[in-house]
Every structure is written in structure tokens, then in C-alpha cells.
Amino acid sequence: MNEEIGIIRSIIDNDLYKMTMQQAVVELFPKSYVKYNFINRGKTNFPDGFDIRLRQELKKMESLSLNQEEAMFLSLRCGEFLNPTYIDFLKSYKYDSTEVGIKQDGGDLDIDITGYWYKTILWEVPLMALISELYFKMTGEIYNERADRKHNNLEKGKKFYQHSMKVADFGTRRRFSYENQFEVVNDLKNNCFGGKDFLVGTSNVHIAMTLDLQPIGTHAHEWFMFHAVEYGYTRANFRALENWVKVYKGDLGIALPDTYTAEIFFKTFDKMFAKLFDGVRHDSGDPFEFADKVVAHYKKLGINPSSKTIVFSDGLNTELAVKLFEYCREIGIMCSFGIGTHFTNDVGVKALNMVIKIVQVKIDGMWIDTVKLSDNPIKHTGTEAEIKLCKQTLRIKETKSVEIA
């Protein structure tokens, strides 16, 4: 690959949910100022000079812009929910590498992103993909041959096809490389057993365009985390859902429940929201218990669970996805699966365990910390003091094994 092009080669080499959130931020919160941090959950030891190479790649991203083909694709495939004004805005959007601060001390990597929310929101996914791919390029780890990779991809696809499951690629952030993500999705789509029957799309907009697939995505934890700072913990879920409906009028109707635990979320997810939204996404905690809670909640509200969907997206592999599919069929609710690292970094190396999270929002000139209280305590983020305050406010019992970030 031409080194001048850079590892990230398109402005839409990004996940759709960043664009859908960006449109909502542009409309509702254009003056909001935020900060994100890189969280190295797996304690990866980065090679010497990684920070220099990363800065070089970020500088190359400044030359990216939305071209006519990409704009046309967004209009045709996403025009029901991405309005022409937003797509026109995206044509003028440019990455600004000065928003990203990078420091390296030995093998430790410290990264923060600071700026207006509507601008910085697009950094998270391509930056993580860049960190992952650059790491494997610089370390030179040995990975599986193409024939083995294709066999692996097709074996997964065959199981999904045989069970008539609905599956999407959600693997941009921790992929081994762009090339590998592309070949995985291409292998799953173009095969002898009916890939189009089970592969419903990909979160990666550029790959969706190139392979003529539907890009898939709604919102992420940061949407709720911002609303907690803006409106308080007790109103965060309600206002986040309310504002999402205000922008999308019922489109993109898969809600994310676990920013402040699913138990707290379902207290807000009343009959109005439960009818407005097509379903919910599972991203932490026991997925079988979650499915039971979702079905019970819909039944409590007098809603037939078979008319709703659970999108499972937390650390899935083929075997777990099949078990969840069969379980959901037993309890009477539809389901689909967003599979990430198991698709795009299953090549014989250890994938990086990392996230980038919004950590602060500036309100009236003062930085306010954000918090995420996952259904898996290991995935909590925030300062110890702010996590404690959030739990006290929402009357959540203290849990063990919290990893403070």
C-alpha cells in the first residue's frame, strides 16, 4: 500500500453509529465541548516510536474528505435518516490532528481527544482501528495464511446460515487490518451457501459501500454519558431517548440500555419508548439473563415480545451466538448479532483490548466527569469519586471488581 495514502484511506472508513450520533449532536448540541481518553484495558506494551508513527498517520487523515461517490451512497442507503443538510456538512468536514494528544512513556500510550463534540466524535473508531493495525504492522506478529483465514470465515458463515440467523459485522474498532475486515465481510457475503441470507450488513460505512451492503448502527454509550452531565444521572436515560426520537422520529430504533445498568434503564423504558423503539442492544452482563429481563419487561408493558428484537454485541463468538439464537427462539423474541473481534481479528494473534470513552464535558467553563456503569463492573469507566456519586444518586448497590479508568 502506498504509504502516502495512510492506513485510514476514506473518511467513511468509520462505523455508522458515529455519523448518526454526529448528526444528532450537530442538530442539538453544536456548542458542546468534550474530552475523550484512550483506555488500554489489556495493558498492551506498545513498541518504541509508536507515538511518532501514530502522529504521522493522524496527519495523513487530515487530507480525507467525503467524495461524490461516498455522498451518493449515504444519500441512497441512509437517506431515510441522514438528512441532506448533514451529508452536505460532512462534505466540508476535515479531521484536525491537533485535537488528538499523544504521549508515550516506554510501552505505555496516553491519548486524549479534546474539542467540540460535533467535530471530535468521528475520531474514536478510526483511531482505534489505526492503533490496532499499526501495532501489528510494527510488531510484525505472524498471522494465519489467506487460505486458513477464508476457511475460518466460511465455517462461521455456514453455521449462521444453517441456523437462519441474522448477523452483521461490528468489527472496525479492533480489527487486525482494513484488508482483513474487508475480506471477512466479502467472504461472508460471497459464498456458496447463501451469504446474503444471513449477513444483514456491516457497521463500517466504507466496506458497506464497496460491497453493496447496508451500513448498520444507532447510538453508543457516549450519547447517554453526555446526557447525564447535561441533565443529571436520574434524567440521563429519559432525555437521551427523548432526544434520539426528536432527531430520528422512530428510525434507528435500537436502544442501548447498559450505560447506567439495564435495571435502571428499564425503569425509564416505559410503554411509550418500548413501542417507539424496535428493540434493545445487549453490550454487557449475562446475555441470557438480559434476554429474560427484556421479555419480562415487554410482557409487563402489554407488548408482545415476538414483535421486538434484541441485538447482541458483547464479545460474541459463533458458538455463543448460536446458543443465544436458540434461546431467544424458545422465549419468544427476535434477535440479531453484531460480531466484532471474532470476525475481524481472528487471525492467530491476540487482539488488543482497548476502548476510547468520553471522559469529560465542559459546562459553563468547568469540566465535568462522565461515568459509565456497565452491567459488567470490569467495564465501568470514570473516576472513583464520580462512580460513587453516580451509584448513590441512582441507588445502585456497590459492586466488586470495578476497573477505574
**DSSP label at 373?**
B
Neighbours of 389 (CB within 10 A): 15
Residue 298 CA to its chain's centroid (Å): 25
Rounded Cα gap, residues 347 and 379, in angstroms: 25
Q: What is the CATH number of the domain that holds 243?
A: 3.20.140.10
Lookup: cell for 361: 464535558
Q: Based on the domain organization, do 132 and 41 belong to the same domain?
A: yes
**Statement to judge: residues 202 and 237 lie in one domain:** no
- Whether residue 3 is predicted with pLDDT greater than 60 in this model: the reply is no
Distance CA 194, CA 298 (A): 33
Q: Report d(CA 142, CA 226) in Å as an integer.
A: 40
| 107 contacts 46 by C-beta, under 8 angstroms | yes
Using pLDDT thresholds of 50, 70 and 90, give the confidence band for residue 404. very low
Cα separation, 320 vs 324, in Å, equals 6
**Is residue 394 included in any domain, yes or no?**
yes
How far apart CA 301 and CA 180 sit, in angstroms, is 44
- Which residue spans within 221-317 are E strands per DSSP? 254-255, 279-282, 309-312
Residues 131 and 169 placed together within one structural domain of the fold: no
At 61-97, the pLDDT tens digits run 999 999 999 999 999 999 999 999 999 999 999 999 9
| pLDDT tens-digit readout, 147-183 | 999 999 999 999 999 999 999 999 999 999 999 999 9
Looking at the domain assignment, is residue 9 inside a domain? yes
**pLDDT band of 405, cuts 50, 70, 90:** very low
Same domain assignment for residues 72 and 6: yes
Q: Are residues 98 and 171 in the same domain?
A: no
297 and 388 assigned to the same domain: yes
- 82 with 46, same domain: the answer is yes
Q: Which of 160, 191, 210 is the last residue of a domain?
A: 210
Q: Which domain covers residue 87, as residue numbers?
A: 1-142
Q: Residue type for 32, please? A: S
Q: Is residue 350 part of a domain?
A: no
Number of neighbours of residue 96 by Cβ within 10 angstroms: 14
Specify the pLDDT at position 5: 82
With beta carbons less than 8 A apart as the criterion, state whether 371 and 381 touch. yes
Count the neighbouring beta carbons within 10 Å of the beta carbon of residue 349: 15
Neighbours of 24 (CB within 10 A): 22
**Among candidate residues 189, 210, 231, the one where a domain is terminated:** 210
Residue 236 lies in a domain: yes
- Based on the domain organization, do 245 and 377 belong to the same domain? yes
Residue in 170, 164, 172 with CA at minimum distance from that of residue 196: 164
Query: Considering the domain boundaries, does residue 110 fall inside one?
Result: yes
Q: Do residues 132 and 150 share a domain?
A: no
The amino acid occupying position 240 is A
Cα separation, 166 vs 168, whole angstroms: 7
Is the domain of 44 the same as that of 119? yes
d(C-alpha 119, C-alpha 117), whole Å:
5
139/136 Cα distance (integer angstroms): 5
* pLDDT at residue 197 in the model: 77
Please report the pLDDT score of residue 339 as a whole number.
Answer: 98
Find the range with the poorest average confidence among 146-150, 192-196, 279-283, 343-347: 192-196
**1 and 20 co-located in one domain:** yes
Q: Which of 142, 158, 189 lies at the terminal end of a domain, its last residue?
A: 142
For 227-279, write each residue's pLDDT tens digit.
999 999 999 999 999 999 999 999 999 999 999 999 999 999 999 999 999 99
Residue 351 lies in a domain: no
Quote the mean pLDDT of the chain.
95
Residue 191: what pLDDT?
A: 79
Number of helices (H), then strands (E), belonging to the chain: the values are 18, 11
Nearest to 257 by CA among 231, 288, 223: 223
Pair 102, 183 in one domain: no
Domain count, the chain: 3
| Interatomic CA distance for residues 236 and 238, integer angstroms | 6
Say if 185 falls within a structural domain: yes
How confident is residue 1, by pLDDT bands cut at 50, 70 and 90? Answer: very low
